[in-house]
Amino acid sequence: MSNSNTVTEQLTEAGRKIEHSSFDIVTAEAGEHNYSEAQWNIVRRMIHATADFEFNGLAEFHPDALDAGRQAIIDGRPIVADVEMICVGLSKPRLKHFGVSTHQFISDDDVIEKAKAENTTRAVQAMRKAHIKGLLNNGIIGIGNAPTALLEVKRLILDEGIKPAVIIGMPVGFVSAEESKDELALLKDIPWIITRGRKGGTTLVVSAIHALLALAEVKQSKS
């Protein structure tokens, strides 16, 4: 990735130096990989955020994921997250540059009440609320915590016909986490980025979105 980026870089020279050095170390220690240069920018940032080199191999990309993600950011499409931690972790100045807003509904009173009444999870009802608000069509969906949110998104795609721009599906855990990502990867017409297996988490989603923001800045500067 070009170091000429300004909006999506660290704000101080010292911070930029540390981050670039860290990325160089990750690339050197990771060894061989089968990712494109753009894909590696995302995987490298995920490894940088977790110090876990297993994501070199666990991360997988739909063929259209990067183009769709970059364009969605440039177009200022909303980000819908399963939990507040993703929204808090994203850089506000970087999002503001592209006019991208973030949304999460996991703790809304109506979401909690519907989850209790229908014996579902809050994550399921939060995704349904996002759908009712019109945020999922052409939006960026980031799921790092709740497998049921990811399964609900797939249901909304198949049953309700929603078409997100890209889904970053990386829930972590032991109940349905691996299976939900396997299910998402079966989709052919909706771009996605996933981590196979049980590993995942909000940190990875934040890392992936920050990498997409940087890739979007490169594309924007060339247009």
Q: Which residues are catalytic?
A: 48
What one-character-per-residue DSSP string does the chain give? Answer: --TT--TTS-SSHHHHHHHHHHHHHHHHHH------HHHHHHHHHHHHHH--TTHHHHEEE-TTHHHHHHHHHHTT--EEESSHHHHHHS-HHHHHHHT--EE--TT-HHHHHHHHHHT--HHHHHHHHHHHTT-STT-EEEESS-HHHHHHHHHIIIII----SEEEE---SSSSHHHHHHHHTT-SSS-EEEE-SS---HHHHHHHHHHHHHHHHHHHHH-
